[in-house]
Structure 1
Amino acid sequence: MRKLALSDEILMTIEKPARYIGNEVNSVTKDPDQIDIRFCMCFPDVYEIGMSHLGIQILYDLFNRRQDTWCERVYSPWVDLDRIMREKEIPLFALESQDPVKDFDFLGITIQYEMCYTNILQILDLSKIPLIARDRTDEDPIVIGGGPCTYNPEPLADFFDLFYIGEGETVYDQLLDTYKEHRKNGGSRQDFLLRAAQIPGIYVPMFYETTYLEDGTVDKFRPVRPDVPEVIEKQMALNVNPLPYPMKPIVPFIKVTQDRVVLEIQRGCIRGCRFCQAGMLYRPTREKDLEVLKQYAYEMLKNTGHEEISLSSLSSSDYSQLEELVQFLIEEFKGQGINISLPSLRIDSFSLDVMSKVQDVRKSSLTFAPEAGSQRLRNVINKGLTEEDILNGARLAFIGGWNRVKLYFMLGLPTETEEDIRGIAHLSEKIAELYYETVPKENRSGKCQIVASTSFFVPKPFTPFQWARMCTKEEFLDKARTVNLEIKNQLNRKSIKYNWHEADVTVLEGIFARGDRRIGAAIQLAYERGALYDAWSEYFDNERWMKAFEDCGLDVDFYTVRERGEDEVFPWDFIRIGVTKRHLFKEWERAAQKIVTPNCREKCSGCGAAVYGGGVCFENQN
């Protein structure tokens, strides 16, 4: 019988002990004596968040298909267990075997957002693995980073042995095969890292160095030895249909953030919003065949018992076989009590017709993402959405019986004016007014409810806005106050609710997003002073972070409010994602001119992704 790493006494004193006991439906167990490689996959946040991440489910399934590999999972212990583990010196353990993470060959950490960086150090610390990669020995696991934040890995470079740049289904088998052969031959840790550095898409930070100019910007980034590549090429699958997909995803014992079957319908996006990192990183768009998705839906629902299936995509409305897929799901599963979730839809007549069929009678909120309050600014960011589109979508929704609408905007976008800011309140008012004009009193199901939410803009690597300045905390809050006051001046103000994001957290995210290797010292110092779960407002301490930057001699404004020049060398320039830096700068210039670039289906913009992908892009797949 499997022995738990935590005693009954400890489990009885902590919140949600089911986070730590493993043994969930569809989790994989193997005999450690019958396998060659032990891989621990980590999501550095609490269990409920990590269990909702599709990428880990895909890699977990991919690795466990190998006869020679056993992949297990670990998540960040919540603050109550964190304290107990430190007091009682209990090493962090994997869920499936309950064995210490330190005993594994690999620790793979997916890095989905910047505010989890101190949780990464928590994972290493509780696992008794040295925080700094150079301090590790042959007895320590190889620590791998993956996910969207690795497209600027430099702030975390000192903590990782290697980063995997690209989609996991491409070269992970080659990496594991290389490790297996290396261990068979008795090679050292350094030997393996050198061999790994020669695999496409693998970046080993210790083999590279950065030099800086007097003004603090990057002068050169280069290898310190001749046998590693100067440029790291993103790895991606040109055809997503034959890729392995988890037919038996793990079913948790407790409710998690995304408690449903997830059906990935395509990768990439045709839209080209200038603020959106994912839209650039995952180009070109690659669709999955309808028949493949039908099979996946059957198998996953059968193997999990879930009562909801969600379509996963950056822009579901752009999937060319969406209508056929949705009709199939409705006809096949609606009678079985299966709900269908359709995120990332553009609100048009087709989408509303579909949602009226798949949502219950009460109808949940509809979500629009205008991103900006004026048409001028929507053109700057290349949103590809007119006010007419938004109002027409709202009108159709109100006619269809919805009376609750969520609106998502950003504040602090490049070229933003006060008129653009006030436009958020004005657009919210127009939509509220439209409800009362469109729906007769006798047909209204309660008052109209408009919830306008603003996040604060963070320039991200590999976007046209990577050159942009970012606002200060005070500027962000002034903008939010302007919106709030303008909403209170609207005629239908009682129908409009306004929420805004935390400005100090946004500034920190901006530092991490475009930071260089010097940032790592401040991350470590803040962690050692108690920083943890920075994505959770109740644990975020901005003063602790500002003091850490100051004590490390780092100027916050250098990383945030400074606009970059065309020729500046970025810390992430050694990574090639397909979309060229020349194209991104051209889009930066077009933004200043308020010129809209057509989406990939309408006209190829020559971004470079199609060439990089062997000529594969959306317009010539079908």
Structure 2
Amino acid sequence: MTIEKLLEKLLPQVSKPTRYMGNEYNSIKKDKDNIKVHVALAFPDVYEVGMSHLGIKILYHLLNQYPDIYAERVFAPWVDFEGLMRKEGILLFSLESKTAVAEFDFLGFTLQYEMSYTNILNMLELSGIPIFSNERREGHPFVIAGGPCTYNPEPLSDIVDFFVIGEAEEVIVEIMDLYKSFKERGESRQRFLEEVARISGVYVPSLYHVSYNDDGTMKSILPKQADIPRRIQKRLIKDLDNVYYPTNFVVPYMDIVHDRAVLEIFRGCTRGCRFCQAGMIYRPVREKSVVRLEKLAKDIIASTGYGELSLASLSTSDYSKLKQLTEILTDEFRQSRVSLSLPSLRIDAFSLELAKKVQEIKKSGLTFAPEAGTQRLRDVINKGVTAQDLLTSVKDAFSSGWKTVKLYFMIGLPTETYEDIEGIANLAFAVVDVYKKVYGNTRGLKVNVSTSTFVPKPFTPFQWESQITLSEIEERQRLLRSMLRKNKNISYSWHDGKLSFLEAVFSRGDRRLGQVLKIAHDKGCKFDGWNDMFSFEKWMSAFNESGICPEFYAYRKRSKDELCPWDIIDPGIDKKFLLRELEKSQKAEITPDCRIRCHACGVSKLKAGGFCETKNEI
């Protein structure tokens, strides 16, 4: 029975069968007999999560521009369909041609979140591909990975054949060209790995030897061959106006997490929040021109029919021509009723006039991220906003008709005290008081307070810091719950501290964690980011069986001269800069936006233009 016939039989038995159907509007079909390279672009979560990710959309349409390359999509099957696949002996397959993933040349994973790692192992097993790279033979796909989690690739280094570090639009084409040549010459799998390792931005972990000190810290990570780079420098797109960007996005049949058209307006961030990995690794800021964005926006809406367009970046309100762009786009789409959304607005950059302009068609709630409850702690993390900034912004919003706001904070930040936790509640109460002053009552008001737990991330000034313990997380969450429940207009949600603990382990871990992942997978761990699937007990059992202590990675402060697993990667940020920022955080000193003054972070050596064209020494 063909896979298509099996699906006709099985899909009525599962929830959300459209996850597995394919054939969506703007999806791409090619004749497999006329291609040279077959690529499976994999996202280690369900369809509606993966289809919301911009990176996989860009690569899908970019690669399919080439007649001799066929890129297809594959997502993690939900547990109901996985059960049927195992029962019927169905191997994991692609959406477009329903080809078994094991038959592809490349299986490329997007690494967006550490708690999706067990899904990678599960997808490999469902594909019939060996989990560990040293067990793969000629004919197996090359398992590759890209995305923000690759800035510490070590926990997956025994599983992934090679990593692509940084922005992939140019390097992925170089890899494909090399593979075509390799395939024509009929050379070995090992020979290809040795050649691809010489492409800038590519890390082949099997070509490096790792050694450890007696205390468990890393001693060295060194190339096994003289012509292999000692550090892997990230790839960077210098000219965003001329880089490929798709307009014919695939339009899903089902609702997805972010079900709207996406227009990326710039990359990078100049703010320098000390907890934020994205703000460091995506430097420098590079903007697209208004002319380019206007054309892209028109083409995207024309080819997809979406009724909402999201202007995407790390901090949308920092786009230098945002007012001009939003005026052009709202005027352009007013008649067709296409609304604009502006995620990532900062409190201090919030413009009531701007918010009113972009929400003329559709008004939604507003989200603000003070991050910390007191000014002292906001200065520690270099957030650069004040309580008054927030209160002024919400007053303007309430006066203009908004009745729902979300406040996002972190707990467990370095130097945090219980006074800082109480400050979160006091700030929420102050927002309620502002609403009361505007309307004379609190009818209709909803203040949604959300907290996550701080995770020290590689290539941030806090990479040397420790995470607070699980008992401390729970105690701080209890304190906030008890304070916030006093006001009926305030609701409180929080991120599971056990998930944050494991996220810290894998974001800071080394390649010894590959064995832990395998044991956890064997115990049934998957979809760990989903509350109803996550089993902390299974994870702790996996660590016990492996003889590896997770607290070693999450709770240990690191010395400034310790070799970190991620030091094999060069993100363009100097360690000296990160150490200066760490020292300033300990004094609660602010570092101004680097659009105002260069702080010599090191990224100017990449010669990427943007806001780093002129370097002013500190």
TM range (shorter): over 0.9
Counterpart position of 1:384: 384
Secondary structure of the equivalent of 1:263? Answer: strand
Q: Does residue 110 of structure 1 match 2:110?
A: yes
The offset of 1:141, in angstroms, is 0.4
Counterpart position of 2:539: 545
One-letter amino acid matched to 1:252 = P
Counterpart position of 1:133: 133
The offset of 1:214, in angstroms, is 1.1
The offset of 1:6, in angstroms, is 3.5
The offset of 1:355, in angstroms, is 2.1
Counterpart position of 1:472: 469
One-letter amino acid matched to 2:449 = A
Counterpart position of 1:202: 202
One-letter amino acid matched to 1:300 = I
Per-residue CA distance 1:221-271 (angstroms, 9 max, x = gap): 111222211110101011111011111010111111111110000000111
The partner residue of 2:480 within 474, 478, 483 is: 483
Secondary structure of the equivalent of 1:385? Answer: coil
Distance in 1 (CA, whole Å) between partners of 2:519 and 2:349 is 53
The offset of 1:615, in angstroms, is 5.2
Distance in 2 (CA, whole Å) between partners of 1:404 and 1:560 is 36
The partner residue of 2:583 within 577, 589, 596 is: 589
The offset of 1:556, in angstroms, is 1.6
Distance in 1 (CA, whole Å) between partners of 2:5 and 2:96 is 11
Does structure 1 conserve the Cα–Cα contact (< 8 Å) formed by 2:46 and 2:78? yes
Counterpart position of 2:444: 447
Distance in 2 (CA, whole Å) between partners of 1:559 and 1:74 is 32
Q: Tell me which moved more, 347-356 or 572-581.
A: 347-356
Q: Would the alpha carbon gap of residues 354 and 144 (structure 1) be closer, same or farther in structure 2, given more than 3 Å must change?
A: same
Distance in 2 (CA, whole Å) between partners of 1:355 and 1:216 is 52
The offset of 1:103, in angstroms, is 0.6
Q: Would the alpha carbon gap of residues 330 and 473 (structure 1) be closer, same or farther in structure 2, given more than 3 Å must change?
A: same
Per-residue CA distance 1:29-51 (angstroms, 9 max, x = gap): 11111111001100110000001
Counterpart position of 2:606: 612
Counterpart position of 1:158: 158
Does structure 1 conserve the Cα–Cα contact (< 8 Å) formed by 2:317 and 2:350? no
Counterpart position of 2:223: 223
Does structure 2 conserve the Cα–Cα contact (< 8 Å) formed by 1:349 and 1:396? no
Per-residue CA distance 1:353-383 (angstroms, 9 max, x = gap): 2222333688422111000000000000000
Secondary structure of the equivalent of 1:494? Answer: coil
One-letter amino acid matched to 1:576 = D
Does structure 2 conserve the Cα–Cα contact (< 8 Å) formed by 1:50 and 1:75? yes
Q: Would the alpha carbon gap of residues 350 and 500 (structure 1) be closer, same or farther in structure 2, given more than 3 Å must change?
A: closer
Distance in 1 (CA, whole Å) between partners of 2:609 and 2:326 is 30
Per-residue CA distance 1:338-360 (angstroms, 9 max, x = gap): 11111111246863222223336
The offset of 1:447, in angstroms, is 3.2
Distance in 1 (CA, whole Å) between partners of 2:573 and 2:244 is 26
Counterpart position of 1:463: 460
The partner residue of 1:501 within 495, 498, 505 is: 495
Q: Tell me which moved more, 342-351 or 279-288.
A: 342-351
Distance in 1 (CA, whole Å) between partners of 2:255 and 2:588 is 45
Does structure 2 conserve the Cα–Cα contact (< 8 Å) formed by 1:349 and 1:393? no
Q: Does residue 14 of structure 1 match 2:14?
A: yes
TM-score between both structures, scaled by the size of structure 1: 0.96
Distance in 2 (CA, whole Å) between partners of 1:263 and 1:292 is 11
Per-residue CA distance 1:201-227 (angstroms, 9 max, x = gap): 100111112111111111111112222
One-letter amino acid matched to 2:418 = E
Per-residue CA distance 1:258-313 (angstroms, 9 max, x = gap): 11110000000111100000000100000001000000011110001111100000
Counterpart position of 1:562: 556
The offset of 1:14, in angstroms, is 0.9
The offset of 1:408, in angstroms, is 0.3
Secondary structure of the equivalent of 2:4? Answer: coil
Per-residue CA distance 1:432-483 (angstroms, 9 max, x = gap): 1111112345xx7x33221111101100101111000101111101011111
Does structure 1 conserve the Cα–Cα contact (< 8 Å) formed by 2:261 and 2:306? yes
Q: Tell me which moved more, 339-348 or 408-417.
A: 339-348
One-letter amino acid matched to 2:595 = R
Per-residue CA distance 1:140-195 (angstroms, 9 max, x = gap): 00111100001001001111110000101121111111111011011000010000
Counterpart position of 2:254: 254
Q: Does residue 336 of structure 1 match 2:329?
A: no
Does structure 2 conserve the Cα–Cα contact (< 8 Å) formed by 1:601 and 1:619? no
Q: Does residue 426 of structure 1 match 2:426?
A: yes
Distance in 1 (CA, whole Å) between partners of 2:410 and 2:371 is 5
Distance in 2 (CA, whole Å) between partners of 1:159 and 1:497 is 42
Among all aligned residue pairs of Structure 1 and Structure 2, give the percentage whose two residues are the same amino acid: 48
Does structure 1 conserve the Cα–Cα contact (< 8 Å) formed by 2:238 and 2:609? no
Per-residue CA distance 1:58-101 (angstroms, 9 max, x = gap): 00111011121010000000100111111221111111111111
Counterpart position of 1:355: 355
The partner residue of 1:527 within 518, 521, 526 is: 521
Q: Does residue 79 of structure 1 match 2:79?
A: yes
Does structure 2 conserve the Cα–Cα contact (< 8 Å) formed by 1:94 and 1:100? yes
Per-residue CA distance 1:405-447 (angstroms, 9 max, x = gap): 1100000000001101110001111111111112345xx7x33
Q: Would the alpha carbon gap of residues 350 and 230 (structure 1) be closer, same or farther in structure 2, given more than 3 Å must change?
A: closer
Distance in 2 (CA, whole Å) between partners of 1:121 and 1:556 is 20
Counterpart position of 2:268: 268
Secondary structure of the equivalent of 2:531? Answer: coil
Does structure 2 conserve the Cα–Cα contact (< 8 Å) formed by 1:609 and 1:617? no
Q: Would the alpha carbon gap of residues 614 and 51 (structure 1) be closer, same or farther in structure 2, given more than 3 Å must change?
A: closer
Distance in 2 (CA, whole Å) between partners of 1:88 and 1:231 is 45
Distance in 1 (CA, whole Å) between partners of 2:439 and 2:294 is 38
Does structure 1 conserve the Cα–Cα contact (< 8 Å) formed by 2:26 and 2:249? yes
Distance in 2 (CA, whole Å) between partners of 1:352 and 1:502 is 34
Does structure 1 conserve the Cα–Cα contact (< 8 Å) formed by 2:334 and 2:361? no
Does structure 2 conserve the Cα–Cα contact (< 8 Å) formed by 1:453 and 1:498? yes
Does structure 1 conserve the Cα–Cα contact (< 8 Å) formed by 2:231 and 2:568? yes
Distance in 2 (CA, whole Å) between partners of 1:158 and 1:35 is 30
Counterpart position of 1:365: 365
Counterpart position of 1:300: 300
Q: Would the alpha carbon gap of residues 348 and 412 (structure 1) be closer, same or farther in structure 2, given more than 3 Å must change?
A: closer
One-letter amino acid matched to 1:150 = T
Distance in 1 (CA, whole Å) between partners of 2:140 and 2:70 is 17
The offset of 1:5, in angstroms, is 6.7
Counterpart position of 1:88: 88
Distance in 2 (CA, whole Å) between partners of 1:130 and 1:573 is 28
Does structure 2 conserve the Cα–Cα contact (< 8 Å) formed by 1:348 and 1:396? no
> What is the 5 A alignment of 1:275-314?
275-314=275-314
Distance in 1 (CA, whole Å) between partners of 2:270 and 2:564 is 26
Per-residue CA distance 1:503-549 (angstroms, 9 max, x = gap): 11111111011000111100110001100100100000000001101
Secondary structure of the equivalent of 1:429? Answer: helix
Does structure 2 conserve the Cα–Cα contact (< 8 Å) formed by 1:380 and 1:591? yes
What are structure 2's unaligned runs of at least 5 residues?
A: none
Counterpart position of 1:515: 509
Distance in 1 (CA, whole Å) between partners of 2:552 and 2:74 is 36
One-letter amino acid matched to 2:299 = E
Per-residue CA distance 1:92-143 (angstroms, 9 max, x = gap): 1111111111111111100100010000011111111000001111110011
Does structure 2 conserve the Cα–Cα contact (< 8 Å) formed by 1:286 and 1:618? no
Q: Tell me which moved more, 596-605 or 340-349.
A: 340-349
Count residues with an aligned counterpart.
614
